[in-house]
Chain A
Amino acid sequence: MEPRSREREVGTVSAPVLTEQTAPVVSAARPVWRDYLRQPSAWLSVTVLGLMVLLAVGAPLIAVEPGGTGPDVLQPPSGRHWFGTDDLGQDIFAQVVWGTRTSLVIGVAASLIALVLGTAIGLLSAYFRPVDAVGTVITDVMLALPTLPLMIMLAAVVNPSVWTLTVIIGVFAWPEVARLIRSQGLVVTAMPYIDGARVLGATAWRIVTREILPAVISLMVVSVLLTASRAVISEAGLSFLGLGDPDAWSWGRILLNAQRSGVVAIAWWQTLFPSLAILVLVLAATVAGMRFNDIRDPRRNGG
């Protein structure tokens, strides 16, 4: 019975079942990735994301961790200092490279927290009516509230570190994931094969984890990318307001330093380069997510 229900699922939902181990479904999933990377914007953004990861991992090899003061104060970009220097004589290029670590770690970790919470709440809402009533109200409330002031308030009370920021950002990013997963989950729950599984005596836990979850996995890939891009922006915002980890470099912190030392109007390089870094990373993650969404749902390709 198991393989038959899978077949139906692939045929009707057109979701790639990445968890399946039998040969036919794996071969059905493979062209999705091939089609995906055939789009120039998709492979370009995946390449950019890959380079960013390399930059973050290899930061100590690329640049010395910025600290202390240097003799070259407020130098424009040159061969010695590619992105110029700040008012303490620190190298902006080194700050941007080291900031990549913080942005990526918080972006990925926070979006994973949001993904786990959002998927759990979204799936439970889609399958259990009573949960849906409560879940939808909470999701709507969270979406209606101004998240940044809420995160500021909490971040100000706890000791800001990379991990507390990750938790705060992740905990407030789940509602959008929950909404996406719930709407897709509702479509799947209404399908005949779910009724079939129920008639065969499958437990609710089994239906949710084995039948509905595989059908929303591709949507989870999309939301992890989009949530990560929003998390990067949130982290930059909190750091810009002085709530970043004082021991870790961050793109928001470079902008804050420029703002605090009053050199925004003079040292264009101190604001331009971290801004470009945010733009490139977030754009790459967003485009990667959107292109994956196009390929996930072939009906949208024409529109």
Chain B
Amino acid sequence: MARFVLSRLLKAVLTIWIAITATFFLLRLLPGDPTTLMVEGDMTPEMQAALLRTYGLDRPLWEQYVSYLRELFQGNFGISFRQIQPVTDILLDRLPWTLLLAGTAFLVTIAVGIPIGVYAAVHRGRWADRVLQALGIGGHALFVPSVAMLLLVYLGARLGWFPIGGAIDPDTRGAAANLSLAHHLVLPVLSLVLVQLGPYALTLRTNMIEVLGEDYIRAARARGLSASRRVWKHGLRNAILPALTLMGLQLGTLVGGAVLTETVFAYPGVGRLIYEAVGQRDYPVLQGAFIMLAVTVVIANSLTDLLYAVLNPRIRL
């Protein structure tokens, strides 16, 4: 067990290190002087040189890289260009909202996707299965802002069932606040779930059909186990494992979708922050947001892998 956890941890650290290093060098290799990114308008060469010295940008690249890594390690993401405030503070302010949104969408997709996938696998070739196959392919073609705007217009603006923006009503307290939180969460989560659900359930169905053809399922049948017990108890456990890995791999896409959904619904997470930072060309915020989201995805991915190891009867930790 310790060995598995350790190797998984190493892989996570390696991924994050590569992400940070690639970011650092890509941004410096791209055309454009950092000072032109920082300040608008004309600057005298002396002012530019002074600015470069202040930020340590006149030192050799590798020295800058080492100090950049040291600062990041201490949780320092730099200072925002526009809001004179540490990027770390801004990000930590926004991150919980994105975690809530993406985490809820992740769990809802799994919770709804599993029964749909199993039902389609058991009723293979019937109409429900055909509908799922169409939706599974169609899901790849859905553009998150399109779905989000559709929900916003019909369920939000026209019918007025759900709020069309924000994350919480600031006037509410206690239980009412929680209720308001959940109420604001519905449409952003639904946009993400609708995009992810079809392809996810379709993969689960394919896994399930494969598992149901295995010898041990036939053996269970020979032992006289009921159909529902065979499917839900023996089959599902083995079909869920690859589906879990798949969902873990989808986390990057899920976070990308969250950036777009948050933009449509003015949801105060990291995604909306990215949209605002793009408008203001606030590079330290964009860089920090990417690294923060990358770290989040890698940690969540490692947790999924650990869960896989715990659930898989073939792996004895």
Contacts and interface: CB of A to CB of B under 8 A. Distances in A.
Partners in one complex: yes
Chain B binding surface, main DSSP class: helix
A268 B141 contact: no
A240 B145 contact: yes
Nearest to B289: A149
B153 A147 contact: no
Given A156-B283, A158-B31, A236 B143 contact: yes
Contacts of B293: 146, 149
Contacts of A229: 140-141
Interface in B266-304: 274-275, 277-279, 281, 283, 286-287, 289-290, 293-294, 297-298, 301
A146 B275 contact: no
B142 A279 contact: yes
B15 A144 contact: yes
A147 B249 contact: no
B233 to A, nearest CB: 25
B189 to A, nearest CB: 18
Contacts of B14: 137, 141
A53 B290 CA distance: 35
Interface string A134-149: 0001101101111111
Given A143-B252, A282-B141, A152 B149 contact: no
A153 B137 CA distance: 30
Interface-central residue, B137, B152, B286, B301, by most chain A CB under 10 Å: B286
B121 to A, nearest CB: 12
A252 to B, nearest CB: 8
B256 interface: yes
A54 B117 CA distance: 39
B19 interface: yes
A77 interface: no
Interface in A55-84: none
Contacts, number: 149
Interface in A235-278: 236-237, 240-243, 252, 255, 258-259, 264-265, 268, 271, 274-275, 278
B49 interface: no
A88 to B, nearest CB: 19
A62 B165 CA distance: 38
Contact of A149 (B140, B145, B153, B274): B274
A144 B298 CA distance: 7
Interface stretch (B22-30, B66-74, B176-184): B22-30
B143 A268 contact: no
Contacts of B301: 144
A194 interface: no
Interface-central residue, A148, A229, A264, A290, by most chain B CB under 10 Å: A148
A297 B26 CA distance: 39
B141 A146 contact: no
A154 interface: yes
Contact of B263 (A140, A241, A278): A241
Interface of A: 137-138, 140-141, 143-150, 152-154, 156-158, 229, 233, 236-237, 240-243, 252, 255, 258-259, 264-265, 268, 271, 274-275, 278-279, 282-283, 286-287, 290, 303
10 contacts: A146-B255, A153-B27, A156-B283, A236-B143, A237-B145, A240-B263, A265-B164, A282-B143, A283-B141, A303-B209
